[in-house]
Amino acid sequence: MDIFERTRAMFHLPEGVTYLDGNSLGPLPIAAQERVDAMLRDQWGEMLITGWNKAGWMDQPARVGDRIARLIGAPSGSVVMGDTLSIKVYQALASALELNPGRKVILSDSGNFPSDLYMADGLIRTLDRGLELKAPAPEEVAAHLDSDVAVLMLTQVDYRTGRMHDMEALTRAAHAAGALVIWDLAHSAGAVPVDLAGCDADFAVGCSYKFLNSGPGGPAFIYVHPKHATQVRPALSGWLGHEQPFAFDPDYRPGAGIERMRVGTPPVIQMAALEAALDIWDLVDMDAVRARSIELSELFIALVEEKCPELTVVSPRDPATRGSQVAFSHPEGYAIMQALISKGVIGDFRAPDILRFGITPLYTNSNDIIRAASTLHKIMEERLWDRDAYRVRARVT
């Protein structure tokens, strides 16, 4: 049996639904239900506070981090789980700035996810030492790498279009310019092969609830290059990043290596779900996932272009520069997406006019792609989107 038919059977996919939004929230791994249930029943329920030792809750952030490390080309002991991605962005940026103190510019790009830019802005205000955030167009980032840049902070795969930066080349260029590099892997982890060690990246962060399928509110991860992990002084210096949390020392002393990037109490229940999801990831090879993702993406683009000429492809044509998502634009994109969802094909909408579809080989096959394209075709051809009800904006789009 094809490995991806096997993995598909390991997810709960609601009857009649074609799910192309796993880039935003992955579906439920069937085993996660029993795993979380068992955690509640046998660990929280029976062990109470002794679970921190008996069930290994305290070691879980590093243990789970190691499982994610494999998917992003990081050595064991360099990744730890906790908090949300926005927090991890702040933490990585504060640490990187402190490691490169003489310079004033944080360089990002205008396509970055707003939260990353907001966190940078907030940190700049807190530090109040004349730092500046620059966010040129993604294609112009390399040209802005000069001797003022302290940190290059980029999201590898654009959350809207799927455009993918060349991680290796930009990391090399940034290092040559004397800057440190932070990669946000929100749309890379579990989507494309990543080689953090091979690229010599300084920091990386990402979330687990998108391609990795940990469920809503699943914890983020942070990677720190081993050469920095013993140097950085965490700005969010919480007790669980302390060398000896249970010494209750009034002074902060950073913990060993990556452990210092922990902040407070980890989300143990949520990590039980993530561990069940990672059992599925253990079965596959990222190169095979990538090959299937390209195959399905190319099929989707070809079908939509053929059947829906009103939609414009806004993702890169060259699969080598595209992540694992495909986007189209249309002035009525929001209404079209609502019509599509009402017919059981779930993607999402990103302002101002983008219809976005995640391509996730673990549970999406070519039949799903064909069904999605033909449903979209019907909606466009019969103008089924042209209803007031489909124009009412929900809180989450």
Ligand X SMILES: *Cc1c(COP(=O)(O)O)cnc(C)c1O
Binding-site member from 100, 115, 237, 342 for ligand X (CB under 6 A): 115
Rounded CA-CA distance 71/282 in Å is: 9
Task: Say which of 11, 113, 211, 223 is annotated catalytic.
Answer: 113
Joined together, the tokens standing for residue 149 give 């840049």
Contacts of 147 (CB under 8 A, 6+ apart): 103, 177, 178
We find the least distance from the C-beta atom of residue 3 to ligand X, in angstroms, to be 27
We find the least distance from the C-beta atom of residue 159 to ligand X, in angstroms, to be 5
Of 111-119, 235-243, 255-263, 286-294, which part binds ligand X (CB under 6 A)? 111-119
By C-beta, is 263 or 311 nearer to ligand X?
A: 263
Binding-site member from 116, 158, 202, 259 for ligand X (CB under 6 A): 116
| 202 classed as catalytic | no
By C-beta, is 116 or 275 nearer to ligand X?
A: 116
**Is residue 68 within the footprint of ligand X (CB under 6 A)?**
no
Of 63, 91, 119, whose CA–CA distance to 224 is shortest? Answer: 91
Of 57-65, 110-118, 240-248, 337-345, which part binds ligand X (CB under 6 A)? 110-118
Binding-site member from 55, 79, 124, 186 for ligand X (CB under 6 A): 186
| 200 classed as catalytic | no
By C-beta, is 184 or 202 nearer to ligand X?
A: 184
Contacts of 343 (CB under 8 A, 6+ apart): 375, 378, 379, 384
**Is residue 375 within the footprint of ligand X (CB under 6 A)?**
no
| 378 classed as catalytic | no
| 184 classed as catalytic | yes
Whether residue 337 contacts residue 349, with contact meaning beta carbons closer than 8 Å, is answered with yes
Task: Say which of 4, 19, 203, 209 is annotated catalytic.
Answer: 209
**Is residue 113 within the footprint of ligand X (CB under 6 A)?**
yes
We find the least distance from the C-beta atom of residue 279 to ligand X, in angstroms, to be 23
| 210 classed as catalytic | yes
Strands 220-224 and 203-207: antiparallel
Instruction: Tell me the torsion sign for CA atoms 308, 312, 314, 320.
Output: positive
Binding-site member from 184, 259, 275, 332 for ligand X (CB under 6 A): 184
By C-beta, is 8 or 187 nearer to ligand X?
A: 187
Rounded CA-CA distance 61/261 in Å is: 10
By C-beta, is 83 or 259 nearer to ligand X?
A: 83
**Is residue 86 within the footprint of ligand X (CB under 6 A)?**
yes
Binding-site member from 77, 84, 298, 341 for ligand X (CB under 6 A): 84
We find the least distance from the C-beta atom of residue 134 to ligand X, in angstroms, to be 17
**Is residue 207 within the footprint of ligand X (CB under 6 A)?**
yes
We find the least distance from the C-beta atom of residue 21 to ligand X, in angstroms, to be 12
We find the least distance from the C-beta atom of residue 331 to ligand X, in angstroms, to be 25
* Residues with catalytic function: 113, 184, 209-210, 356
Chain contacts with ligand X (rule: CB under 6 A): 84-86, 113, 115-116, 155, 159, 184, 186-187, 207, 220
